[in-house]
Every structure is written in C-alpha cells, then in structure tokens.
Chains A and B, each alone.
Chain A
Amino acid sequence: MAKPATTRNTPAKGPASDDAFALRSLQDAHLANPRYAASDDELLAFYEQMLLIRRFEEKAGQLYGLGLIGGFCHLYIGQEAVAVGLQSALKPGHDSVITGYRDHGHMLAYGIDPKVIMAELTGRGAGISKGKGGSMHMFSTEHKFYGGHGIVGAQVPLGAGLAFAHKYREDGGLCLAYFGDGAANQGQVYEAFNMAALWNLPIVFVVENNGYAMGTAVTRGSAETHFYRRGTAFRIPGMHVNGMDVLEVRAAAELAFAHVREGKGPVLMELQTYRYRGHSMSDPAKYRTREEVQEMREKHDPIDAAKAELLKRGTSEDKLKELEKQIRSKVGEAADFAENSPEPEAPELYTDILVESY
C-alpha cells in the first residue's frame, strides 16, 4: 500500500496569527458571557413580542383550518426567541432584515402591524401586499423588511445585496439574513458567503436550525451539521447560540452586530431552535415522534422560560394575565380584520406588474 503523502503543516505561530482563534473569537466571547442582562422592562417587552408571535401563529393555523388561508403557510411557533432576540438589537427602519418563507415572526418582531399581515394571509386587498403575495411573499420597505422569499436560499445573496447597498451608501446599517438548515445546503449561500467576506459586507447570516429541512432531519441532509462552522472556509467567524432562550440570543446578537458595525465583515450565527408545528400546515410530521415535540415544548419553551423568569423577578401574575389578554384581543382584531376585509378588486390583477408604462 502506498504511504499517505506527507502533508505540509503550517508552522506553529503565536496567537496573533492563530486564524482558528479569530474565527472562534466571537463564540468564545459569547460563551464567556452567554446571557444578556435585560432590565425587567426589556424582558417583559421580549415576552410580549414572543407571545404576540405565538398567538398570531396559532390564530393563523386556526384560520388555515377554516379555509380562510390558502396555499402554503409556515408557522414560526417554537422559534420566537430567535427573531425577537436578534431583532430587538437592531435599529428598525435603519437595518435591513430579509428571510425565507417562514416570515410572519420576523415581521411581527420588526413592529409591522399584525392586521395587514393577517389580511395578506387571507388574501385581502388590505393585506400588506394587496393580497397578491400571500404568506411567503410579504415586504415592508418602510420597516426595511425585504421579505418574505419563496425560493429556498435566494434570500441569502439578496441579503448580501442589501448589505452591499448599506456599505455603498455608507449609512452604517447592516443586514440580517435568515435562512434555515435546509437552505444552508444551497450552493448560492456559499457564493454569497464568499463575496460578503471578500467585500467585507455588513451582514449577519443567521441559520435557524430547527432540526428539519421540511421532513429531512439535519443529520440525514447535512455532512456538516454544525452550521456555524460553515463560514470558516470563507474566513467568516461563527457563533453557535441557544435559540430557545431570548436572552442568550440577544447577548449573541450584541456581539455579532458590534463586530459587523466595526467594519470587520460578516458573521455567521447558528441558532439552535425547534418548530413545534409541521413544516407547513399540510405536513403530518411523521418524521419525528410526538415525545420529541413534547419534550421541547415542556422543557425548552422560550416563552414559558421568559414567563418563569419574569415571575421570579417579581412581576405579578395579574400583570402577565392582563398582557396575555391584550395580545389575544390584538390578534383577534387582526383576524377579524383579515376575515372581513374585501378581496382585492379584479383590476388589481393587472397592476404592479411594471412600475412604469411603456
């Protein structure tokens, strides 16, 4: 048998040239201080936002069951801490956010009115896309929320383009580009990584690893299941974050955003999370056990955990009950609005195809 070829090792060097350390540095900093020291008010606000997403999504699931929402509808239940923890550290209207088709939570976390989101889900003229986009295609340029994209992975280079625009205009903004563990295997993601690192673009790539690409478990679809390591080939530092704790997410966000805002180029964050519902409403979720889902719900739920922490800090039960009531009524209003608004007028079929007339 032939001997293996001798590999030429790079000579050992001091810490300054330790590339591996540079790529790990954010993760090490995060592990050293993993939880954000939120004030009581901040924690309450996170709780409120997460609960709004949860109740909104439950209502959307209900409306889907009633036939009021059609097509594909991908719920965010279980993943709320990711969008809330990250986006609470952004500047709305200044920093850009882009995501895939599981987009309701990111919109709500960016302060977009639940009514126009729900009305889009029901395909009404008052929806945020005039009823022409649907669940997967929603945008709010006012909030710098750029969608809402239905092609798995396409939002990653688009996000790099948004980051490119921030850098070009020198406006100090950054782009937060979300994608799932499934999209993480798309080739264009790595094309975007390469250019983002090459051009030092202000972007944070966020893999929301919920364990399943539709019905394919991460271990069945990915040779490297530690997604945060996948930037190393492009010299992008990675962070592995517990996405079920909003304060851990927020702490990691602070580090990542500071790194990017200092002009040090992109960061890749892997948020370990879990979706309780199926991939979409039509998914029977036979690829995992009921026990697995129950275990996550009962022991790792980000909203229950935040609630327990609030109570421990002395927030009264009554106050939280009142908050819950307010959120339910807000979601109820959104659902009523979405159900009672008229469908788009027929001539809308032909509008917005082109901006100009030729």
Chain B
Amino acid sequence: MGIELKMPALSPTMEEGTLAKWLVKEGDTVKSGDILAEIETDKATMEFESIDEGVMGKILVPEGTEGVKVGTVIAVISGVGETAPAAAPAAAPAAGPQAAEPVNPVTVKPSAQKPRAADPAIPAGTNMTTVTVREALRDAMAEEMRRDPRVFVMGEEVAQYQGAYKVTQGLLDEFGPKRVIDTPITEYGFAGIGAGAAMGGLRPIVEFMTFNFAMQAIDHVINSAAKTNYMSGGQMRCPIVFRGPNGAATRVGAQHSQNFGPWYASVPGLIVIAPYDAADAKGLLKAAIRSEDPVVFLENELVYGRSFELPELDDHVLPIGKARIMREGKDVTIVSYSIGVGMSLEAAETLAGEGIDAEVLDLRTLRPLDREAVLTSLAKTNRLVIAEEGWPTCSISSEVMAICMEDGFDFLDAPVLRVCDEDVPLPYAANLEKLALIDPSRIAAAVRKVCYR
C-alpha cells in the first residue's frame, strides 16, 4: 500500500507553488526526516521533509512544475511505512522570532480588469515590463541607494534573511551591512534610531515587518518625526521613510490584521502613501525616499506577489499627493486605495455587465489627500462610493465623505456610501474572516444603491 505525498501549504496564504527540485528518486529508501524535495513559493524556497519510512514510489509531479495547487498528490511512498499521513513540510529557513510568521501571498489572480486608464505621469509610448509589487519596491530602494549614499535600510530580517516578505531581497549583497542593517526586535528603539539618524542628516528607510508592530514605535513616527520640522520653526528636518505591509493578511487574527492608514493620515507633518500596483509602488517609494518630509509608506502583503505593468523608465518617480483614475467611467465614482483598488476594479467590471459605467479613483496618497481629484470625478459622475479595507469609524472613507459634503454637495445625486470592513476585531475562523472583510460584491452592491438600481 502507498502513502500519498501532497503538495503542502507552506504559509497561511499559499495556494500553489513550484516543485523546484526532487532530492530523491523513484526506488530510493526514505526515512522520517529525509528531505524529499524543494518547493518554491514566491517568497522562499522551502524544504519538504518526509515523516514516513518506505520506498519512493511513483513521482507524479516532475521537478520544475509551476503552479502546483496545495493538496495535489505529488508522489507516493510504498513499502514498510505504516498508515501514516502525508509528509509534513520542514520550514527552512527557520521560523522568524516575531509572533507573526510572515505569510506569503500567492495571489496572482488572472486580471479581471479591462485595460487600465493610462497614468498621465507616464509618457505615452513608454515600453512596459511586468513585475511584482515586491520587485518594484525592492528596485525602488536599490535605485535610490545607488543614487544617494545617505540612504540606508534598517529593520528586522531585512539583511541576511533577505526580508521577512522578501522585499529587501538582494540589497545586502549589493550594498553591504553598513547600509542594509538587521535590527533586534525592538521597534520603538529602532524607529527612534532611524528618526535620529534622519535628524542627523541621513535618509533612513525603516522597515516594519508589519505595521501592526509599528504600534510599539508610533510615538517616534508621530512625536519625533512628524512634529520636528514644525516645532523647530523649519530648522530641523526628519526625512525618513517608515514602510512595511499594512492591513489584513490572511488568517492571522486580530492583532496582525489592521489598516493604520487613517491613524497616520490624521497627523499633520506626515506624508502617508498607500499604493496599489507596481508602478505606483515604485514611483511613489522613490518619491518618498527623496522627500524632505517623513513618510509612512503602507504596503499590502496580499498584493506583494501580484504582477503589474511597470514603465521601463530610467528614473520612474511619481508625484506625491496625486490620485489617479484607474478606470474611466461616467455613471458613478468608486474611490479606493491599496488592496481596495483591485476589488473596486473587479466590481466595476461586474457593473459594466449591468450597464453601470464606474470610474475607479485610486487615492494613492492618503495625506495630503487629493481633494481636487475626488471632487472632479464627483462633478462628472454625481455619485460616489468609497471602498476601504479597514474599519469604518474615523476612516479615510469618513474623510472622503466629509470632502463631498463640504465641497461637493451640489454635485451629489445620491448620498455617498462607504464600503468598509465590519466594525469588529478581525476573527481567525475562515468564514468569519470572509464576512468581516470587504469584497467586490459588496462594493458592487453599494454602487447599485447609489445608482438607484
């Protein structure tokens, strides 16, 4: 009788992976603890370890196969093994010390969107290449580090580990340990050291493994970085970038799933950026690093692995504080940012099939917020919905609604609606988590409502 070996899930968000290499062949005797294969996710290569004893039977999935779904039978072990379950993955490299084991998104969904509206900041006719958001962020940092010797990166696991989410991959090799610095797990301390280094004339990029842990450091982000220029009468600057993943990931529970955009966006003296696609991630991160002001740069773990078109430009820098029309439409405006933009575009496609032509506006920068872009789109469509992966109370949605009331009242043909996460700490159970988070169908439903359909 044989024991089926199944493609393991190596992270909370993994749905599929590449079977990079078999380390055993058919007929080999294997025992518990032997490494059978290497499996690649887009975050790391993991070793797949046997927990059974026996003889390798048929290998069903040859090495080099990409996109192998979790749970697929990849081989069979026959012989001496008792009735044992499938092999278990051995995590390699070892689990990080942070409570949150960084998870890996393999969420390269087939793009449901119709061709996106061109970014006016990118010259027409520019060649495009396809990259993931993760690569775009890494390239932005590498380019700025080549350009300015004052720029350095510090954070947990950014150097030798190559980044908890692989965003800093390769930077240590190119720039060395002086400029790519592993810190102890001590957010408050290294956020303060980063802010002090910025005051002392350097250009730090401080990576938080996730923004959930930046709560420990929020005093330095706000009291030290954001207020310094004002309190010193413009004398002492703090040009620093605090960056890392923000918002809900998958199945990591309440303490690791939160959108801090509204928190930081309420603070004068900070720039807050939350890009969606790769071109914006790169162009805005480069702008953030060059800015003389402190920047909170909010990424999204679930988007890291998604591929997008990126203009092939030597120096792709985008303006901070400018929203962007991602999809033109005439009937209704959907305002969003970060991961919500993808959902809004999906909702817009669904609505197009129903005869509703939705415009999707990506805010990109949360502070300063591009009021003009919101109002211009509203003046055109007269109806507006905000989609935000985050809590509704005191949110970016509340702010956009206030802008519509204050300066767009005469444009409105229907009340503005917001689609946010449920007003609860994020639950762990898969079904409850799904219920708590926004999705394209809820956005579409809100759009129908403001269109009185």
Tell me if B224 counts as interface (CB < 8 A to partner A). Answer: yes
- Chain A residues positioned under 8 Å from B201 (CB to CB): 165, 169
Stretch at the interface among B53-61, B77-85, B185-193, B423-431: B185-193
Q: Determine whether the beta carbon of B188 is less than 8 Å from that of A191.
A: yes
* In contact, B192 and A158 (Cβ under 8 angstroms): yes
Interface check A122, CB cutoff 8 A: no
Decide: A162 and B197 in contact? CB cutoff 8 A.
Answer: yes
Q: Which residues of B contact A147 (CB under 8 A)?
A: 228, 232, 236
Across the interface, which residues of B come within 8 angstroms of A156, CB to CB?
Answer: 192
Whether, in the assembled complex, A258 has its beta carbon less than 8 Å from a beta carbon of chain B, the answer is no
Q: Beta-carbon contacts of A157-185 to B below 8 Å, as 1s and 0s?
A: 11111111110110000000000000000
The residues in A between 128 and 176 inclusive whose CB is less than 8 angstroms from any CB of B are 128-133, 137-141, 146-151, 154, 156-166, 168-169
- A146-B231 contact given A195-B193, A358-B320, CB 8 Å threshold: no
Judged by a CB distance under 8 angstroms, whether A355 is at the interface is yes
Given contacts A169-B201, A353-B269, A358-B319, contact A158 B195 (CB under 8 A): yes
When distances are taken between beta carbons in the complex, the residues of chain A under 8 Å from B234 are: 130, 351-352, 355
* Given A96-B200, A146-B200, A154 and B192 contact (CB-CB distance below 8 Å): yes
Contact of B188 among A161, A168, A188, A353 (CB under 8 A): A188
Count residues on chain A whose CB falls below 8 Å from chain B CBs: 49
State in angstroms the CA–CA spacing of A127 and B234 once bound together: 12
Which residues from A are CB-within-8-Å of B293? Answer: 354-356
- How far, in angstroms, from A192 to B192 measured CA to CA in the complex? 8
Residues on the B chain within 8 Å of A165, using CB = 196-197, 200-202
**Does A191 lie within 8 Å of B186, measured CB to CB?**
yes
CA distance A167 to B201 in the complex (A): 12
A186-209 residues with Cβ-Cβ distance < 8 A to B are 187-188, 191-192, 194-195, 198-199
Residues of B within 8 A of A161 (CB): 192-200, 204
A149 to B197, CA, bound (A): 15
A141 to B198 alpha-carbon distance, docked (Å): 12
Are A158 and B224 also in contact (CB < 8 A) when A164-B196, A166-B200, A358-B271 are? yes
Measured between beta carbons, the chain B residues less than 8 angstroms from A355 are: 229, 234, 237, 239, 291-293
Q: Report the Cα distance A148→B192, complex, angstroms.
A: 15
A162 touching B199, Cβ below 8 Å: yes
Q: List, in ascending order, chain B residues with CB within 8 A of A195's CB.
A: 183-184, 186, 189-190, 193
State which of B190, B229, B291 has its C-beta within 8 Å of the C-beta of A352.
B229
Determine which of A129, A133, A157 lies in contact with B193 in the assembled complex, contact meaning CB atoms within 8 Å: A157
Q: Using A162-B197, A166-B200 as known contacts, say yes or no to A129 and B268 having CB atoms under 8 A apart.
A: no
**Contact of A129 (CB < 8 Å), options: B219, B223, B235:** B235
**Inter-chain contact A353/B229, CB cutoff 8 Å:** yes
Question: Which residues from chain B sit less than 8 Å from chain A, CB to CB?
Answer: 152, 178, 181, 183-184, 186, 188-202, 204, 219-220, 223-224, 228-237, 239, 268-269, 271, 291-293, 319-321, 365, 368
**25 interchain pairs, CB-CB under 8 A:** A130-B233, A132-B233, A137-B231, A139-B228, A147-B232, A147-B236, A151-B224, A154-B219, A154-B223, A157-B190, A157-B195, A159-B196, A160-B189, A160-B192, A161-B196, A163-B196, A165-B201, A188-B188, A191-B188, A192-B189, A194-B184, A194-B186, A195-B189, A353-B229, A358-B320
5 closest A-B pairs (Cβ-Cβ)?
A161-B196, A157-B192, A191-B189, A165-B200, A130-B233
